[in-house]
Structure 1
Amino acid sequence: MNVDVLIAGAGPTGSTLAADLLRRGLRVRLVDKAPHAFKGSRAKGVQPRTLEVFEDLGILGEALAEGGPYPLAGLHFGPITVPWRMQQRNRPTPNVPYPNILLLQQHRTDAILHRLLDRLGLGIEFDTAVVGFEQDADGVTTTLSTGEKVRSRYLVGADGGSSAVRKASGIRFIGETADSDRTLIIDCTIDGLSRNRWHMWPRTHGKFVGACPLPHSDQFQVMIRLTPDETPDLDEAALAAQFHKLTGFRLHSITWTSVFRPNVRLAEHYRAGNVFLAGDAAHVHTPAGAQGLNTGVQDAYNLGWKLAQVIAGAPDSLLDSYEAERQPIAARVLGKSSELYSRLDQQRLSTLKRGDEERQLTLSYHGGPLAPADSPATKTLHVGDRAPDAPCNGPGGIRRLFDVYQGPHFTMLAFGVNAAKALPELSWPNGGADLHRYTVNSSREVDHNGLNDTDGKLTSIYGVTGDALVLIRPDGYIGSIITTDWFAAFDNLTRTIT
């Protein structure tokens, strides 16, 4: 094998996957057909759950520094501008430390991830496309546009809606593209327009027009809904004249333009043998609700630890759980983003509201192959749910559970005396991700594997009322809740994931 995993596509999905695999010690190559990194704003909303992924990867600080909060909307009705809050501003809580969406241009998200890859020692191979591949039981031989043939254990297509990997795999991309429904997107500077509002002209000259200020720049992302028979002139002077006619403001210094078509499609399968699809290669959305980039990042976060585990000796069936867990979520997200997009033409303020569902914190794998519906549960959590943050004190300056979870390992929390006694006796294989073990107690004494929950918030957030072992997967979801028969239940669990 030349490498363990070859990834096509260096956008947010492919870059997240590459970073996760590299920190697990795998050999990775990342190729992209484009001559350079993407330069536009496009997907500009980073949801709370993705911020948690970025914290785990060690890049949250950069994202927060380069992004900003979503501004109030400013709805223009003739000479009147009405302020309106699309995004509810939520206060951080002990279990949800990052409750609000971050406004961050996609080119900055890409750059942050690419800097991470550089620190991990991986160079992105731009201007290099997947031409085709052949696979057998042991791996995949991929032909690149450079003429090189790369042998890898697995190939992952994160190469966008027109994915060459998906097409070559023969996986159907089911859905529709509305060619008559198009939106013009422009990154530019606008003279005289305030930067403390996401400006919207709901029905100016029969069009929807928006202008969102992009943080830490003088730019706006402009969106203009086109009429079905309209052929846009992308010359800067023509765009400036059109925008001035629609809004009365002048734009200039355009750096990126695109004509977006609502392309709503879902791959029939996410896996074909040793080939996998992730991100836009597996599902494409409307832009409403800021779901596409976030869903792709979380595809990568789900797939990475599973690839590493199987390469280390876990059963191949673990990889089947990738599609089983992620495809239903993509289907729901597609439905939600399409619903929000379809409302843009409705003249009701309520159609602009965004809520908890878009934040992706409540997405769960409960009922899937790794989280059976009849699994034990606590008062607040089921197997397959997101593992919430919580305050605690532990060795090495640990102040919260997310400090404990950060990294490529599994984590086991033991609640109660009997679970604490069983914890060190649990048998875990040497290959693959490590298991970090902690007892949760109410004392103030700090030991090498103890988490102090002196105010009871951790236990309350996790809804534990008796003895229990709670396993947290490397991607931050509850992997198991064991309340009796510790060793037999744990052995059954390890046979599926190690």
Structure 2
Amino acid sequence: MSAHDTDVLIVGAGPVGLTLAIELARAGVPHRLIDRAAEPSPLSRAAGIHSRTLQLLERSGVIEPFLDEGLEVRRGEIAMDGTPRAWFDLSELDERFPFIIDLPQARTEALLADHLAGLGGRIERGVGLVGLFADADGVDVQLQRDGDEAAEAVRCRWVIGCDGGHSTVRTLAPTQLHGSFKGERVLLVDAECEWDVDWPVLRMSLNRHGLAGSFPFTGRRARFFAQLGDLDLADDPTLDDAQRTLADLLSPTLRLTEAHWITTLTLHHGQVPRYRFGRVLLAGDAAHIHSPAGGQGMNTGMQDAWNLAWKLVLVSRGADEALLDSYDRERHPVGARVVKLTTRATRIAMTTVPGVHRLRDTLVGAMVGRDGVRQRLELGLTELDIAYHHSPIVGEHVRRAADDLVEPGDRLPDAGDLATALPAGRHAALVVHPATADDVTTVLDALGDLAEVIAVVTTPMADLPEGATALVDPDDAVADALGLGASGVVVVRPDAYVGYVTVPVDGDGLRHYRTLLGLPTG
């Protein structure tokens, strides 16, 4: 095998690339993070950080500055032709972080970059990818640094494209997006405003001319977007242009007082056919692009990064490279769902068929007003409903099943002190109600150094085996959330999804999980 200059080259230092770099830095995986731009962009397309992303930021050890600086948004309103028709309230969710944190993307990137620097990582700015050739053992790339005539030749094991909707990595992979490319125009505005409405509330407005929304920030600053439909707008819109457009599409009482920036973009909906091309993988907007409605693009991309990161870590430590195929198997359906739903929502919102928009208003208002539908909307918006039940790397060995037992691929329930008890960047094996200390020893022996073993007990365990820790759960909050009334093991992945379940404790089943991950069992 030829020598490598680094293990992982990450192309693109937006939220997705930064998230991936942070996880690799924490695990000590050699990597480089490059970005063609000499400076971070002040144009922050994304605004909202959803509940699931906040949970994972907490696991990355970087949640506090986001909570300190961002604005908690718990409520949302959907209006049809200027009339509020439906509402949602994330406070109803029995979850950690039952809210959205609204924060300009530029600040999200700055906070992530600061955290990466604290881990010893850095961004190489003004460095672009200009060539890529992959073989069986690695990838040869050519990097062009601003001001240098000659390109730098680098050999790495993996290249990860986190370089956005106009991805160079995607082009060189080579692959392309498949979807709708009608070129819908979108107005984005970051501005101070005067607006006699409840604050902070996320707002969406649909009418026959277009779709618009607002994401409140601290003070009276907000991010506004408008999908323009058949409305005319100058290519370089002024504050007055933005004012007129948003008054038409969002609210006639809105007054923009000062713009931080105004821009337009051309919107497409699409996704690459797969996320892995040998030693080249794609994440975030490089893999999927869609409407800003719902604010899920950045969140979906960051969760791509968390899913991929722990697998790259295991492969760097000897796991079979086939483990990386599961990244596509798990995340491609998630991206496809987001693209499908946002495309459908945009078409419904912007219908021009006579009478259809009135029927749309009535049906949407009635449906979202129902408790079950509203809860599904809230779980979908926050991405708390994502699961990997059909993943090739999850499984179970269950002889005594309860109706409410967690399933492999489920998101780990938020219960008791689990959020703070789980190790960062590692698997955890929750040994619930161990019958004896031998149960804990069985798990330690079967999983080896893959996981931190945690005995979940109602009272302190006097004979806890060396190498394990205990989580005292006096009211059985954790056990109940997992659906375990008797002894069993729930293996939690580093991205806080259930990887394996065994009831009762079974060493062979746990060794099988190592096999699923491409790890030796000896």
TM-score by length of 1: 0.87
| Distance in 1 separating the partners of 2:434 and 2:243 | 73
> Is 2:235 aligned against 1:261?
no
- The 1:484/1:120 distance shift into structure 2, 3 A limit, reads same
Q: Give the 3 Å change call, closer, same or farther, for CA 321–74 of structure 1 in structure 2.
A: closer
Q: What secondary structure sits across from 2:420 in the alignment?
A: helix
* CA RMSD between the two structures: 2.9
Query: Which deviates more from structure 2 when the two are superposed, residues 65-74 or residues 270-279?
Result: 65-74
Equivalence for 2:503? 483
- Provide Cα deviations, 1:67-112, integer angstroms capped at 9, x if missing partner: 223375678999xx8667643232464xx21222222221121111
Contact 1:131 1:143 in 2 (8 A): yes
User: Residue 234 of structure 1 corresponds to which residue in structure 2?
Assistant: 236
1:16 aligns with 2:19: yes
Stretch deviating more after TM superposition (261-270 or 226-235)? 226-235
Query: For 1:126-145, what aligned pairs fall within 5 Å after superposition?
Result: 126-145=125-144
Residues 310-331 of structure 1 deviation map (CA, whole Å, 9 limit, x = unaligned):
1110111111111011111111
In the TM superposition, 1:23-172 aligns within 5 A as: 23-70=26-73, 86-91=87-92, 93=94, 96-146=95-145, 147-172=151-176
Q: Rate the CA distance shift 1:185–1:489 in 2: closer, same or farther, 3 A.
A: same
For residues 67 and 57 of structure 1, the distance between their equivalents in structure 2, rounded to whole angstroms, comes to: 17
Deviations 1:8-67 (A, max 9, x none): 011111110000010001112111122221313321121111010110111211112222
Q: Which residue of 1 aligns with 2:421?
A: 404
Q: Which residue of 2 aligns with 1:437?
A: 453
Which residue does the alignment assign to 1:395?
Answer: none
Contact 1:46 1:101 survives alignment (8 Å):
yes
Residues 375 and 382 of structure 1 are in contact (CA less than 8 Å); yes or no, is this contact kept in structure 2? Answer: no
Kindly indicate whether the alpha-carbon contact (under 8 Å) linking 1:420 and 1:439 is maintained by their aligned counterparts in 2.
Answer: no
Q: Which moved further from structure 2: 322-331 or 32-41?
A: 32-41
> What TM-score do the two structures reach when normalised by structure 2?
0.84
- Offset, 1:356: 1.7
* C-alpha distance after superposition, 1:449-472 (max 9, x if no partner): 222121111111100122211111
Q: Quick check: 1:461 aligned with 2:481? A: yes
For 1:480 and 1:21, the matched residues in 2 are separated by: 24
After superposition, the Cα gap between the structure-2 partners of 1:454 and 1:201, relative to the gap in structure 1 and judged at 3 Å, is closer
- CA offsets, 1:354-377, max 9 Å, x none? 422222112111121012588776
- Whether contact under 8 Å (2:300, 2:335) holds in the other structure is yes
SS of the equivalent of 1:439 reads: strand
Identity over aligned pairs, percent: 30
Give ranges in structure 2 of 5+ residues lacking alignment.
Answer: 146-150, 351-356, 369-376
SS class of match (1:122) = coil
| Aligned equivalent of 1:174 | 178
**Residue number among 3, 6, 18 corresponding to 1:3 in the alignment:** 6
Structure 1: state its 5+ residue gaps: 392-399
Aligned mates of 1:163, 1:111 — CA distance in 2 = 22
Q: How far apart are the structure 1 equivalents of 2:412 and 2:181?
A: 36
**Kept in 1: contact 2:284–2:300 (CA 8 A):** yes
Structure 1 contact 240–250 (Cα < 8 Å) conserved: no
Q: Deviations over 1:355-409 (max 9, x none)?
A: 2222211211112101258877652310111112221xxxxxxxx1111224111
Query: 2:412, 2:497 within 8 Å by CA — same for their partners in 1?
Result: yes
Query: Secondary structure in 1 aligned to 2:386?
Result: coil
**Range that drifts further, 445-454 or 359-368:** 445-454
Q: Which residue of 1 aligns with 2:193?
A: 190
Q: Pick one of 427, 439, 443 that aligns with 2:445.
A: 427
User: How far, CA to CA, are the matches of 1:191 and 1:454 in structure 2?
Assistant: 51
**Is 1:380 aligned to 2:405, yes or no?**
yes
Q: Distance in 1 between matches of 2:37 and 2:78?
A: 37
SS in 1 for 2:106: helix
Query: Is 1:370 the equivalent of 2:417?
Result: no
Which string of whole-angstrom CA distances, capped at 9 and with x for unpartnered residues, describes residues 390-434 of structure 1?
21xxxxxxxx1111224111111112344752322433677xx75
**What's the offset of the Cα at 1:483?**
2.0
1:219 to 214, 218, 221: 221
1:451 is matched with which residue: 471, 478, 484? 471
- Structure 1: which amino acid aligns with 2:48? G
Tell me the amino acid that sits aligned with residue 125 of structure 2: F
Q: What whole-Å deviation, never above 9, does each CA across 1:478-497 have from its counterpart, x for those lacking one?
A: 11111257222222221232
CA distance in 2, matches of 1:324, 1:233: 40
**Does the CA-based 8 Å contact 1:177-1:261 persist in structure 2?**
no
Counterpart of 2:90 in 1: which secondary structure?
coil
Alpha-carbon shift at residue 349 of structure 1 (Å)? 7.4
State the shift of 1:218 in Å.
Answer: 4.3
The number of aligned residues is: 481
Which residue identity is paired with 1:407?
A
Deviations 1:291-340 (A, max 9, x none): 21111111110100101101110111111111011111111222222233
Task: Confirm or deny: 8 A CA contact 2:490 2:502 kept in the other structure.
Answer: yes
CA distance, structure 1, for counterparts of residue 114 and residue 26 of structure 2 = 14
Match of 1:396 in 2: none
CA gap 1:381/1:254 in 2 versus in 1, 3 angstroms = same
2:256 partner SS: strand
